[in-house]
Amino acid sequence: MRNAIALYSICVAGLAAATELPAPIQRILDGHALPPEGLSIFVQQVGASEPLLSHFAQTPRNPASTIKLLTTWVALDTLGPTYSWPTEVYFLGDWDGTALQGDLGFKGYGDPFLVTEEFWKLLRALRRTGLEAVDGDLVIDDTFFAPVTEDPGAFDGQPLRTYNVTPNAFLVNFKTVRFQFLADSARGEVRIDTDPELSNLEIRNRLELSPGACSIYQAGISFGVDDYPMGREVVLDGRFPAACSPYSLSRTVLEHDSFAYGVYRTLWAELGGRHRGGVRRGAIPADAEPALTWSSRPLSEVIRSLNKYSNNVMTRQLLYTLGAEFGGTPGTQESGNAAIVDYLETRGLRTEGLEIDNGAGLSRATRISAELVGRVLLIAAASPLAPEFLSSLSLGGLDGTTRGRFRGHPEAGRMHLKTGRLDDVAAVAGYVHARDGLDYVTVVILNTKDAHRGPGEELQEALLHWVHARP
């Protein structure tokens, strides 16, 4: 760790400027007429005292999803690999060992991976306490995080897209439903199934079954809600080609508490439980004792799903968790950002120009330099927690967001990477185990028109090939 921190004390005056680029990189810049000043590169051998290659490395740029490396590493190093999120269940009334004459309370602490299967396990554990019937309401306490007032569609005008779900301390299944469409040719209709099933979601199926190839956008399905932002009434229109069957579409519906209630009612009934009341938000009394505490998967496992598959919703939950743990409750985006900045500055890293925003990279405001990303990766590589962190990254050519790249090449399986992509942004960062047997931190960020349309990935792969081929 001391060596990694000391790296920043070397003279950095020359790092902000351009250096001579490897010939393969220069050819791509010239071939696509890409401005070299729109490109940042930082390459350094793990354990070395200075970079192997630095090109505009101190220029803050939009890193897209590679900013997740910062959020996840700080969380892993400060919270620890065994950190877990509790979800508490309370009996708010008289309980005779079978029936609860009163309300059933849930208090969430930001579990980013309380998916349907995990929630089912929680409810199964609740049934094992002997509880069969609830005569009151379901009370949801989500006060561990501050309420989020932003428009979910502010980023791209797509509020129903799953990646735009906002943080909530009691987040169930990412507030997401997977709709599956099946052609029923015998009846001349389209059958719709959902996962999870929600007892409080109305689906109006206006789809018509049509002949023809499955070659149209979104299988001809128009998805909308009649009561946005409540999202209780989904309307499905269009002409669905029978050749598309089966077809799946994931969207976010309902509000956080209504969604959790719908999943709860369905699963509770499947487990033989009964519930007579509705749902409301409310703070659990401070002197109440939980009847059950459910623990999430540990952080070391959670960040694998987060980084390998670039899950924006989980990352935002993690940022709010950092805010709550180090800035006090309720957790906010701002307190999460402050926790990260404090971590960096405590370790001697400069944060000028850093803009973390939501910590997930789904933002036009996020800014970080390639060098700062690289310095964080060097700190991680020198840590005892390095194996946990590396295992959370996509293994080039094998899994995650890079599983379709480098197949059949010598680099396959020898790179742990995090990719990032937005309109006009292409980035990749991580570790390359080179042919010389050494490990190299590698960061490349390209911010220029149409970077995301192909030139950015071509440039990334040329640099990664060049690093891997070190003699």
- Spatial separation of the C-alpha atoms in residues 222 and 237, rounded to whole Å: 5
Q: Which helix (H) or strand (E) holds 412?
A: none
- Spatial separation of the C-alpha atoms in residues 39 and 393, rounded to whole Å: 23
Q: Cβ–Cβ contacts within 10 Å for residue 120, how many?
A: 17
CB 354 within 8 A of CB 60: yes
CB 371 within 8 A of CB 348: no
Q: Cβ–Cβ contacts within 10 Å for residue 363, how many?
A: 20
Q: Which helix (H) or strand (E) holds 115?
A: none
CB 202 within 8 A of CB 188: no
For the chain, what is the radius of gyration of the CA atoms? 25
- Spatial separation of the C-alpha atoms in residues 79 and 303, rounded to whole Å: 12
Query: Token pair 């009846």 is at which residue?
Result: 187
pLDDT mean by block of 10 residues, the chain; 471 residues: 36 48 95 96 97 97 98 98 98 97 98 98 98 98 96 92 97 98 94 96 96 91 91 95 95 97 98 97 96 98 97 98 98 98 98 98 97 98 98 96 89 95 97 97 97 94 95 78
Query: Token pair 């310095």 is at which residue?
Result: 375
Taking the complete model, does pTM exceed 0.85, yes or no?
yes
CA 465 from centre of chain = 28
Contacts of 59 (CB under 8 A, 6+ apart): 16, 40, 369, 370
CA 191 from centre of chain = 31
CB 435 within 8 A of CB 471: yes
- Spatial separation of the C-alpha atoms in residues 351 and 324, rounded to whole Å: 22
pLDDT of residue 19: 65
Closest CA to 118 of 258, 264, 250: 264
- Spatial separation of the C-alpha atoms in residues 307 and 271, rounded to whole Å: 34
56 DSSP 8-state letter:
S
Q: What is the DSSP string of 257-284?
A: HHHHHHHHHHHHHHTT-EE-S-EEE-PP
Q: Cβ–Cβ contacts within 10 Å for residue 188, how many?
A: 10
CA 186 from centre of chain = 41
Q: Which helix (H) or strand (E) holds 441?
A: strand 439-447
